[in-house]
Structure 1
Amino acid sequence: MRLSIWPGAGQPYADILDVARHAADTGWDGVWIADHFMPNTAPDVRADHPVLEAGSLVAALGAVLPRVRIGTLVYGNTYRHPAVVANMAATVDQITGGRFTLGVGAGWQVNEHEQYGIELPAVRQLLDRFEEALQVWHGLLRTPTTDFQGTYYQLTGAVCEPKPIQDPLPIMIGAKGEKRMLRMVAAYADQWNTWGLPEVIAHKSAVLDEHCAAIGRDPRAVLRTAQALVAVDTPVPPDLRMPAYGGTPDLVKATVEAYREIGLDELIIPDGLLGTGPERRKALDTILGIVKP
């Protein structure tokens, strides 16, 4: 099972680079960056807390970090035209020497759309638009030219050059909806990601298997990745709105083994509960020793 770190983009670049570089130097497998411009609206979070932009971060990290894979977790489709994203992805893959994973999702965070005047369509339209974008990405990143006439996107003899070094560049879809989103994962994705503890991931993974079987695709062709907040040597806060585990190394180990038993391909560790500086590096080393003894 691969092990990757997810540094929050709401911290100075020097701190993001510190945690990412430590992970790269000590044997972790990947670094993921979320695509947001501000915190989600919440009573306990300042809406104006600074957040760095994902595309710039993956390019910067990819240029200076050796060995590890770099990925977006995940680009929101509503924020950029998919042709722009395809060119960004191909460029970062060139920068990293073929180590980029294009993580994409439909888009969802209301306050970002409201503040920037970006349309956030109703769910059905949002998913229709995302499915068209997936077809655009497949065309631009994997074929010489792309012609596409959809409701939301139209391309005529479109090119994306240079192509990624990887052939194909992996596309990961962030998805939790079982009816349609996981069906899109089965049809278009090389990897799948969602939040959840092992029981939730096992259930949704079984649903994904069913969607793959329905279209005649080998379920093993879609890698499974997941994350939850992790606390090391500190109690898990009782009022978290996100899935979380740990508290002691033994409790971390038990949950990691449960992920391994359900066949998870990659466990992603957000750094939100790991502290900062030396404390965070120590927590990373503890987790690494548990997952890859």
Structure 2
Amino acid sequence: MRFGFWPGPNNSWSDTLALARHAETAGWHGIWYADHFMPNAEDTSGPTSECWTTLAALAVAVPRVRIGALVTGNTYRHPAVLAKMAANVDNISGGRCVLGLGAGWQENEHRAYGINFSTLGGRMNRFEEACEVVTGLFTNAQTNFTGKHYQLTDAPLAPKPVQQPLPLLIGGGGEQRTLRIAAKYANEWNVWGTPELLARKGAILDRHCEELGRDPRSIKHSTQGMLVLTDDAAAVERMKASGRPVIGGDGPGVRATIEQYAEAGVDEVIIPDFNLGATVEAKTAVMDRFAREVMSYFK
């Protein structure tokens, strides 16, 4: 089992850097970053750092762990531009970048910045074309593509990513479209959910792979949950009431949940910092307890 850490984009750069360096030193396997421009809330005044410039900085400043977007909104950038960005971050990092990609969902960003939001079907159609575009550019000397939404003519991409292939992580749990797109293009797949949900959707992903003639084992699975590492059972229940999947309890209880994820076919569990405290010191204290009482048992 791998463990990733997810600093929120509302952190200052200095706090993000401190958390990422601490995670690397403490033995975490990856740093993940969300791709948003503003809060998804009525009050949109809070700071929100941009994803790919942050990943490029982390590629230099944090030299060991994987770094990736969780996940890039396809609507925000032309996929050829995104492929160039990801390849460059992979080169800067020496081959540690993961291109997380999703169809895009946060409507208030699109309205505020004048970005076309479209319908769910429209976003999914763009997303599927984008997956073909980025995987083609990563592989081909020149890429030609004629789609409804994107067109490329003898498009080069150099330098190529260090990793061949550069991992494409598909984010989302839609069983008809998203999981089939993942079966066709993804090296990794991610969705929020309980172990039961991951097991059920993972089986659907496997069926899509089999229909397309692909080995399901070639796609790694990951998920995330709100960590509540505490002896206070009431605190765990309060967090569950928020509606997000919760990884909660004391050390043995959290380990048992991680084991359930492993049994469901999950290869990486990602811990967001959203509820771990207001300061770097508070967050790193929880990270260290998690490393001692949970991560150390899965080495």
TM-score by length of structure 2 reads 0.94
Q: Which amino acid aligns with 2:8?
A: G
- Distance in 2 separating the partners of 1:283 and 1:101: 26
Structure 2 residues without counterparts, runs of 5 or longer: none
Identity %: 48
Residue-by-residue CA offset, 1:198-243 (whole Å, 9 max, x unaligned): 1111111011011111111110000001111111226233441321
Asked if structure 1 preserves the Cα contact closer than 8 Å seen for 2:38 and 2:44, the reply is yes
Q: CA deviation at 1:121?
A: 1.0
Match among 288, 293, 296 for residue 292 of structure 1: 296
Residue-by-residue CA offset, 1:121-144 (whole Å, 9 max, x unaligned): 111111111111011001111111
- Distance in 2 separating the partners of 1:158 and 1:16: 35
Asked if structure 2 preserves the Cα contact closer than 8 Å seen for 1:33 and 1:72, the reply is yes
Q: Which amino acid aligns with 1:202?
A: A
Q: Which amino acid aligns with 1:135?
A: E
- Distance in 2 separating the partners of 1:116 and 1:241: 29
Alignment correspondent of 2:265? 263
Match among 262, 281, 285 for residue 282 of structure 1: 285
2:16 counterpart of 1:16: yes
Alignment correspondent of 1:199? 196
Asked if structure 2 preserves the Cα contact closer than 8 Å seen for 1:175 and 1:185, the reply is no
Asked if structure 2 preserves the Cα contact closer than 8 Å seen for 1:24 and 1:68, the reply is yes
Q: CA deviation at 1:86?
A: 0.5
- Distance in 2 separating the partners of 1:241 and 1:259: 18
Q: CA deviation at 1:41?
A: 2.5
Question: More deviation in 269-278 or 139-148?
Answer: 269-278
Residue-by-residue CA offset, 1:84-134 (whole Å, 9 max, x unaligned): 100100110011000001000000101000101111111111111111101
Alignment correspondent of 1:51? 48
Alignment correspondent of 2:252? 250
- Distance in 2 separating the partners of 1:215 and 1:153: 24
Asked if structure 2 preserves the Cα contact closer than 8 Å seen for 1:227 and 1:269, the reply is yes
When the two chains are superposed, the root-mean-square deviation of aligned CA atoms in Å is 1.2
> For residues 51-130 of structure 1, what are the structure 2 equivalents within 5 Å?
51-130=48-127
TM-score by length of structure 1 reads 0.96
Alignment correspondent of 1:149? 146
Residue-by-residue CA offset, 1:19-45 (whole Å, 9 max, x unaligned): 110010111100000000111135xxx
Aligned residues: 290
Q: CA deviation at 1:253?
A: 1.7
- Distance in 1 separating the partners of 2:4 and 2:58: 14
Alignment correspondent of 1:35? 35
Q: CA deviation at 1:162?
A: 0.7
- Distance in 2 separating the partners of 1:223 and 1:266: 8
Asked if structure 2 preserves the Cα contact closer than 8 Å seen for 1:209 and 1:219, the reply is yes
- Distance in 1 separating the partners of 2:52 and 2:264: 32
